[in-house]
Amino acid sequence: MSFEWMYWTLPTAIFFISIFLMLCGMLVWELVSPTTERKGFLMIPITRGTRFFLGLLGSAYIHLAWIGFTDMTLWFASVLSVGWIIVVMRWG
């Protein structure tokens, strides 16, 4: 029986390492300053953790769309995803 292993590219590794580091940062942020619900452009009362989750979910969709619709490098999708997470965390 043979197993196929996932081929990790540098952009993929950086993406997942960034997610891990952001989760660690969110933990420290929550311990220092507990979150409160607020409404942003998403028009629903959400906490900091929910905004982060929606940012990551959107980031995953950006990467999937990028892979599905372009042949360009994933670096551009990573920059776009970071921008999306920043927008959702700040104004979402």
Confidence of residue 86 (pLDDT cuts 50, 70, 90): very high
pLDDT for the residue numbered 21:
94
Instruction: In whole angstroms, give the CA distance from residue 89 to residue 46.
Output: 11
Contact by Cβ (8 Å): 55, 80:
no
Half-sphere exposure of 3 (CA within 13 A, CB side): 3
Tokens of 39: 């409404």
- pLDDT one-digit tens code per residue, 34-74: 988 888 887 888 888 899 899 989 999 999 999 999 999 88
pLDDT in tens, 9-25: 887 788 789 889 989 99
The confidence band for 78, taking pLDDT boundaries of 50, 70 and 90, is confident
- Sorted by where each begins, the domain ranges of the chain are 10-91
